[in-house]
Structure 1
Amino acid sequence: MPGRIVVVTGGSRGLGKAMCHHFAAEGDHVVVASRKREACDKLAAALTKEYGVDAVGFGCHVGSWAQCDELIDFVEERFVRIDVLINNAGMSPLYPSLGEISEELFDKVIGVNLRGPFRLAVRAGELMQRGQGRAIVNISSIAAVQPQPYDLPYAAAKAALHTVTSGLSRSFGPTVRVNAVMAGPFDTDVTAAWNEQTRQKTAGELIPLGRIGKPEEIVGAVAYLAGPSASYTTGAVIKVDGGMASIPA
């Protein structure tokens, strides 16, 4: 189903970049959105050159309600519609201890991982409802079900994103499907900052498949949820983590 308008936040690098390449390779027109406009424009130009699609970059800090509105307004003006929204942007900054988490850091983490995806999904969902519908995919994390002392605000935001996913699937059905992918560790700039001991422990002891995932390995689940094969799937959370997280029955 080529020719869709696909918006990917956090799209200029890591998992988002792999998603942008996938959709462009399928013949979809891609809006690459992230905080750094230059990086978005660079990737968009590369996608257009390689795949012949209409790819465009847009600078958007997802933590800003106003900038989320600006992104949706831009896409509507440029393409008239949105067929797929991938809420991929996220952040989980390190902090010395739970007691030393500042109000500013807490608000920033909630803003990027929950408030922004909520606003984007609501605006995109409303636009989709005026057309043919389509799909929203929220990128979550196994931290939502397996929180750790070092990522608690992030984990709380991602757990709330699961609730948002379920609630919006009911709000926007039957024309708009809303699902989530719960990601484990992937080989991106985030895990690149880990020391070798952490990488080996995570891959060797905590992940049944024995390795950290490659960015392109999340694409299959995202593409499924965004496409016609998932026409009877909404409000779902699919775990893609090499088996790392245990989810109670």
Structure 2
Amino acid sequence: MEQEFAGKVALVTGGSRGMGREIVHAFAERGADVVVASRKMENCEKVAAEVREKHGVRALPVGFNVSSWPDCDRLVETVYSELGRVDVLFNNAGGSPLYPSLDQVSEEYFDKVIGINLKGPFRLSALIGTRMAEGDGGSIISIGSIEAIRPQPMALPYAAAKAGLHVFSEGFAQAFGPKVRVNTIQAGAFLTDISQGWPEGLKEKMEKQVALGRCAEPSEIVGAALFLASEASSYVTGAVLRVDGGWG
């Protein structure tokens, strides 16, 4: 495996499971030191240990709450103190708990979903993007969602937050260019932990909506992630890349 990210540091939020874990291993396999950041420290430590044993790179586990700005600030300070740099920020942490009906969406629920999916990525991108722009540059990538352009009634706060990521990508690309590239992967239906809570029949319904006729495995995010982080996408910034199986 070519060590194209040797000497680089990749920070992945939500890095202890699902797509995040796949992304962590992909960067580590290609030589990057990685930061596994997620809510539960024990899960981060487990993945970090896997990475060290399998790939022989540095792996820093950090437990944090992405919706908390003080936690985001602490994460950034910890990473730069321990590893000295961030070359790739991957805003992967997200979530969309189900709700019974729109009129029963509480203020607490709404704030939680916006905090996880939009507030945290903004803070991390602002802090790390500023440092990248003042230093050697880098790449910021966020996991968006097809919900941003095809919102379903069962996930409207989530859809709104993901639409906000599109705005952030274009705005941050302008703010931090030319040394920092900022892009969003607009993901379709992936069989991550979130999918385990889908209502009965939703998976089959979504499979009928996509040209490829199936939902994606978490590992299928890796190609897009590596592309946007590497020099292969050297003239791509402020973009939204659809990885949704051809959602109709």
Give the TM-score of the pair, scaled to structure 2: 0.96
The correspondence for 2:223, drawn from 220, 223, 226, is 220
The answer to whether the 8 Å contact 1:45/1:56 transfers is no
Q: Is 2:92 aligned against 1:88?
A: yes
Q: Is 2:62 aligned against 1:58?
A: yes
Structural mapping, 1:26-65, within 5 Å? 26-65=30-69
* 1:115-136 deviations in Å (ceiling 9; x for gaps): 1000000111011122210100
The correspondence for 1:128, drawn from 132, 135, 142, is 132
The correspondence for 1:152, drawn from 150, 156, 159, is 156
What residue is the counterpart of 1:239 in the other structure? 242
What residue is the counterpart of 2:121 in the other structure? 117
Structure 1, unaligned stretches of length 5 or more? none
CA drift at 1:43: 0.3
* 1:123-159 deviations in Å (ceiling 9; x for gaps): 1101112221010001100000001110000000111
* 1:32-69 deviations in Å (ceiling 9; x for gaps): 00000100011001100100000111001100011011
The answer to whether the 8 Å contact 2:117/2:158 transfers is yes
The correspondence for 1:76, drawn from 73, 80, 83, is 80
Tell me the C-alpha RMSD between the 2 structures.
1.0
The correspondence for 2:232, drawn from 225, 229, 232, is 229
Q: Is 2:175 aligned against 1:141?
A: no
The answer to whether the 8 Å contact 1:144/1:158 transfers is yes
The correspondence for 1:207, drawn from 183, 198, 210, is 210
Give the TM-score of the pair, scaled to structure 1: 0.96
The correspondence for 1:163, drawn from 159, 162, 167, is 167
CA drift at 1:209: 0.5
Work out the CA distance in 1 between the residues paired with 2:178 and 2:129.
11
The answer to whether the 8 Å contact 2:41/2:62 transfers is yes
Structural mapping, 1:17-28, within 5 Å? 17-28=21-32
Work out the CA distance in 2 between the residues paired with 1:90 and 1:223.
20
Work out the CA distance in 2 between the residues paired with 1:120 and 1:195.
32
The answer to whether the 8 Å contact 2:96/2:194 transfers is no
SS of 1:179's equivalent?
strand
SS of 2:183's equivalent?
strand
CA drift at 1:195: 5.2
What residue is the counterpart of 2:188 in the other structure? 184
Deviates most, 187-196 or 113-122: 187-196
The answer to whether the 8 Å contact 1:81/1:131 transfers is no
Work out the CA distance in 2 between the residues paired with 1:13 and 1:127.
27
Counterpart of 1:113 in structure 2: which amino acid?
N
CA drift at 1:196: 5.5
Counterpart of 1:232 in structure 2: which amino acid?
Y
